[in-house]
Amino acid sequence: MTMVKVKLKLSQIADGDTLDVLLSEGEPLESVPRTAEEQGHHIEDIRKEGDYYHVVIRK
């Protein structure tokens, strides 16, 4: 999932809610959490599950 899609989803949820994003290793896993935090969101959890990572973002 790209940061553009993540931003769209975050705009659709209420403040305080969480969004669970499924990311592959590499650039998306590095840029999405960093950009989300820069925009004032909080990274609740990053965990590997199989070949992907769940990144939980609190708006």
20-41 pLDDT per residue, tens: 999 999 999 999 999 999 999 9
CATH number at residue 28: 3.30.110.40
pLDDT of residue 13: 97
Q: Give yes or no for a contact between 31 and 4, defined as CB atoms under 8 angstroms apart.
A: no
* Structural domain count of the chain: 1
For 3, 21, 23, 46, 58, the CA distances from 54, given in Å and listed in that order, are: 14, 6, 6, 6, 13
Whole-model pTM: value is: 0.92
Domain that holds residue 19: 3-58
Count the residues in the chain.
59
